[in-house]
Structure 1
Amino acid sequence: MTLTLKAHRDEIGLKDGQLLVAGTWRAAADGATWTHQHPATGEAIGEFPVATVSDVDAAVRAARTAFDEGPWPHARAGERIRLLHRYAESLRQHADELRALQALDNGIPLSFGGIYAPSVDCAADVFDHHAGWVDKVGGQTLPPYQGGDHLAMTFREPIGVVAAILPWNAPFLLFAQKVAPALAAGCTIVLKPSEYCTFSVLRQVELLLEAGLPDGVINVVTGPGDPTGEALITHPLVDKISFTGSRAVGKRIVEASAGTLKRVSLELGGKSPTLVFPDAPDVGLAAMTTMGTVTMGLSGQACVAHTRALVHRDVYDQFLGAAEMLAGMITYGDPFEASVLASPLINTRQLERVLGFIERAQEGGARLVTGGTRPDGDLAAGNFVRPTVFADVDNGMEIAREEVFGPVLAVVPFTDEDEAVRLANDTEYGLGAGVYTTDARRAFRLARRLRAGTIGINGFQIEPHLPFGGFKQSGLGREGGQSAFEAYTELKTVLMPLTDEMM
């Protein structure tokens, strides 16, 4: 029987999406819509508007008015704190509903939705964390350096109107990482979800309004990058762009921001390495953990997936055996079934792209250990690719250098520590890296030598209070922690004379 998700859609009662402008939900100006086709079945799941240039302009102007004239940028710290905490609790209460909407959006199975980083609970923790910064980040009072008697002060003020552009693969965490610090700082927002993951984002926004956020503080425009995204990133009244997605789009955003010198935060993916040494606590576990980031849940469609495994020759075969074993355990199908562990690729274009990488890797001399094919039968209509492991990969091969964004692991052998570091850093990316060793001195040396934003020792995770972002072409800026909050502020200096005339 061919897989279908229509019964799940009907049970959830999914309604078509709308734009949100100045507190009002509505259709696009020209009535155009986008039909969302589920990546596991190809079925039409629902529709939402394709925002026109005029729709985007209306949303940005609503955010501009809310910033220039509305109460939110001037709200007392206690008011912002209470609303963010209230919303975090609402997310936790609606976690099951949101996970189900995500499964209808991008096919991520419910079994993966409870793992911390992509979970609703993690998103709620991000809001709680940033609520804690509202009354703690301020400026300084400094002594005069020269001249007459005066007071020198600095203040952090909200940056203004933020264009927050989300990818499709982590709608809870990435919504929180952009929206929470922006709201905590007092900014207003125009949010654009990916056209491949819209319904779960719209529900998060509804809950935010129910928590009491004033009209116009958050606005939503839906649709693809052209025309919707392009109109947003080029709008002259946007002060800051926060984007997570591909390197190509990130470069376009930098170009578009130049005209008005918009502030920009970018997280643009990676080709993150795992370095496995013979003294790893458990080589098999290191292999299964690495392979898990490439196959389970998102099927490798994650920016920080460790898709390059640099493995010492002494434990190379052991690593490959464990990775192959885990690959054989991954299950696909109905994302609402508890036994399903991984998602389809997001669309047919990405499916063809990943299959092209696999074909060229074999032609280039990489040894295919397992996978590389599509399932047939009931799953033939979905964008599924079986977990794939390549051995004997040269670090100069395309499969080791390009972000495949699929369930493909490239395993590269090394002989000593210096070679491992050279291979790990020989990339245009620098988002994350993992090191498996029981030698504490080696672990610390490598943590300092590796050119990446987050280094995991004998494991890897993302936490709400830690900065996350990349070196080199993996992006600009950080999300999470104090640095993220400050990225949504401008620093202002005030000089006040202390003379009789001023008293």
Structure 2
Amino acid sequence: MKTDSKQFYIQGQWCAPHSTRTQALVNPATAEPYGAVALGSVDDVDSAVKAAKAAFVSWSQTTVAQRLDIMKAIREQYKARYSDLVAAITLEMGAPVSLSTDLQAAMGIAHIDAFTKALSEFAFEHQQGTTCVRKEPIGVVGLITPWNWPVNQIMCKVIPALAAGCTMVLKPSEMSPISADIIAQILHDAGVPAGVFNLVHGDGAIVGSALSSHPDIDMVSFTGSTRAGTAVSKSAADTVKRVSLELGGKSANILLDDADFAKAVKAGVQSVFSNSGQTCTAPTRMLVPASRLEEVNDIARAVAEKALQGVGDPNEKTTRIGPVANQRQFDKVRAMIDAGIAEGATLLAGGSDFPSHLSQGFFIKPTIFTDVTNDMTIAQEEIFGPVLCIMPYDDEDDAVRIANDSPYGLSGYVSGSPERARQVARRMRTGMVHINGAHPDLTAPFGGYKQSGNGREWGEYGLDDFLETKSIPGFYDAP
């Protein structure tokens, strides 16, 4: 596997960038450089957009059957490069090899399958009286993806854009370019026509801004921080293009008083620690009845103490928690832990000091705060690390109030008797709510309320996000 990313994929071929800027790639498990990525320029974006615009003329007119054939070929090529993707994810962002294998890379196959089903069943036209209502590809799309689920986020944008008949320019995170390069080669080997998919590496300030403001980009689909999403929206405003945002989260996990606490607390803690806490939907606020707080603390502390033993080298099969992905995240998470202590939260487990059994890398102890109130920084801001806040509530109404008292609204969780959990789920102001540990549904819409973004991904909803709606009155004869 290569450890440098010095070329871009434009017009069906690998090419040298116009810019000579590069950035070091750092292994989060060692904090040592292992390669470099080229950082693109406005000229590189222009070249990629030009290729995508030219390719749209023919790709937008392909049939569903033709696009399904391409998706089948992509799946075959993806499977052939599966181990390469696993290795790249583990190297780039420090995901334990077990997580990279079983979930991170596996999500790519899962999205291909879900979008294949959605495309095969999607109604691109329907009759409304004498009017034909059509769904047509929106055009050339700019895709901007993050480092925390690098392959998952690329696949859940690229595949529906292809399925819709769009052409595209992808800017993956400059911190995870190797996996993106592998995906570009997968698409090439699968026979995606030249210009339909283009890849330009770079930072948000130059490449991201050039994409979101480009007059020939018809839509931008962005996943990342709320701060960066706001910048994308402002940059896109002058050209009135569609902007779809999947941003941060601070998901509440409400444990009702009739929940199975031993099961729900353990699952909730483990979910926060998974992927080193670098998941936007992580249930980072655990809301529990005040009368059961001591019981919850005991269970959660035990889970955290065991989890610390699983922190280590992501290449080891026994490792369950790897490092956070980069120096900036490492510094931010430790600062947030210190802020929680300073603001009066009780540190139940972990802390900002480096794990004593390790000597290098960006490792954070699995950390739990209890007695957290919703006015604390750690309760309001997305930490994006293995840090859980346990928050007591008085009654069900108080739990819902606390859960909704957040600028975010991406996901939520409720455990308890089914009917009570359903009622609480309906009251939560979030784009998704998981009841009693239900797993994500890749055919259901993924997205948030409030500052967690707009638009929806996954399944038919993700496909529809890349389509424009046209009405043609008089298309059908009057009865």
Task: Compute the TM-score of the two structures, normalised by the length of structure 1.
Answer: 0.91
| 1:124-135 correspondence to structure 2 within 5 Å | 124-135=109-120
Matched, 1:312 2:285: no
Partner residue in 2 for 1:252: 231
Partner residue in 1 for 2:463: 485
Partner residue of 2:125 out of 139, 149, 155: 139
Q: Structure 2 vs 1, CA of residues 130 and 398 (structure 1 numbering), >3 Å: closer, same or farther?
A: same
Structure 1 residues 250-279: Cα deviation after superposition (integer angstroms, max 9, x where no partner): 111111111111111101111001111231
Structure 2 spans left out of the alignment, 5+ residues: none
Q: Structure 2 vs 1, CA of residues 345 and 175 (structure 1 numbering), >3 Å: closer, same or farther?
A: same
Q: Structure 2 vs 1, CA of residues 123 and 78 (structure 1 numbering), >3 Å: closer, same or farther?
A: same
Matched, 1:462 2:437: no
How far apart in 2 are the matches of 1:421 and 1:368? 24
How far apart in 2 are the matches of 1:266 and 1:234? 15
Q: Structure 2 vs 1, CA of residues 441 and 462 (structure 1 numbering), >3 Å: closer, same or farther?
A: closer
Matched, 1:348 2:327: yes
Whether contact under 8 Å (1:274, 1:433) holds in the other structure is yes
Q: Structure 2 vs 1, CA of residues 498 and 480 (structure 1 numbering), >3 Å: closer, same or farther?
A: closer
Structure 1 residues 55-75: Cα deviation after superposition (integer angstroms, max 9, x where no partner): 11111111111113xx32111
Amino acid at match of 1:46: G
Whether contact under 8 Å (2:92, 2:325) holds in the other structure is no
Q: Report the CA distance between 1:374 and its aligned residue.
A: 3.4
Q: Report the CA distance between 1:208 and its aligned residue.
A: 1.1
Partner residue in 2 for 1:289: 267
Whether contact under 8 Å (2:3, 2:36) holds in the other structure is no
SS class of match (2:125)? coil
Partner residue in 1 for 2:56: 67
Q: Report the CA distance between 1:15 and its aligned residue.
A: 4.9
Partner residue in 2 for 1:52: 41
Q: Report the CA distance between 1:484 and its aligned residue.
A: 1.4
Q: Report the CA distance between 1:447 and its aligned residue.
A: 1.3
Amino acid at match of 1:442: R
How far apart in 1 are the matches of 2:323 and 2:475? 64
Partner residue of 1:25 out of 8, 14, 22: 14
Q: Structure 2 vs 1, CA of residues 316 and 235 (structure 1 numbering), >3 Å: closer, same or farther?
A: same
Q: Among the aligned pairs, what percent are the same residue?
A: 38
Structure 1 residues 309-342: Cα deviation after superposition (integer angstroms, max 9, x where no partner): 0011232222222222221222223211011111
Q: Report the CA distance between 1:41 and its aligned residue.
A: 1.0
SS class of match (1:279)? coil
Task: Compute the TM-score of the two structures, normalised by the length of structure 2.
Answer: 0.95
SS class of match (2:400)? helix
SS class of match (1:36)? strand
SS class of match (1:454)? coil
How far apart in 2 are the matches of 1:378 and 1:43? 19
How far apart in 2 are the matches of 1:316 and 1:92? 46
Q: Report the CA distance between 1:78 and its aligned residue.
A: 1.0
Whether contact under 8 Å (2:223, 2:246) holds in the other structure is yes
How far apart in 2 are the matches of 1:399 and 1:445? 28
Partner residue in 1 for 2:316: 337
RMSD: 1.7
Q: Report the CA distance between 1:378 and its aligned residue.
A: 7.1
Partner residue in 1 for 2:277: 300
Q: In terms of mean alpha carbon deviation, does 41-50 or 178-187 score higher?
A: 41-50
SS class of match (2:254)? strand
Q: Report the CA distance between 1:184 and its aligned residue.
A: 0.3
Q: Structure 2 vs 1, CA of residues 497 and 104 (structure 1 numbering), >3 Å: closer, same or farther?
A: closer
Structure 1 spans left out of the alignment, 5+ residues: 1-11, 144-150
Q: Structure 2 vs 1, CA of residues 160 and 498 (structure 1 numbering), >3 Å: closer, same or farther?
A: closer
Whether contact under 8 Å (1:122, 1:464) holds in the other structure is no
How far apart in 1 are the matches of 2:357 and 2:5? 28
SS class of match (1:222)? coil
Runs ≥4 in structure 1, deviation > 4 angstroms? none
Partner residue in 1 for 2:75: 88
Partner residue in 2 for 1:214: 193
Q: Structure 2 vs 1, CA of residues 112 and 498 (structure 1 numbering), >3 Å: closer, same or farther?
A: closer
Q: Report the CA distance between 1:379 and its aligned residue.
A: 3.4
Whether contact under 8 Å (1:89, 1:124) holds in the other structure is no
Partner residue in 2 for 1:447: 425
How far apart in 1 are the matches of 2:144 and 2:17? 18
Partner residue in 2 for 1:164: 143
Q: Report the CA distance between 1:352 and its aligned residue.
A: 1.5
Q: Report the CA distance between 1:377 and its aligned residue.
A: 6.3
Q: Report the CA distance between 1:129 and its aligned residue.
A: 2.0
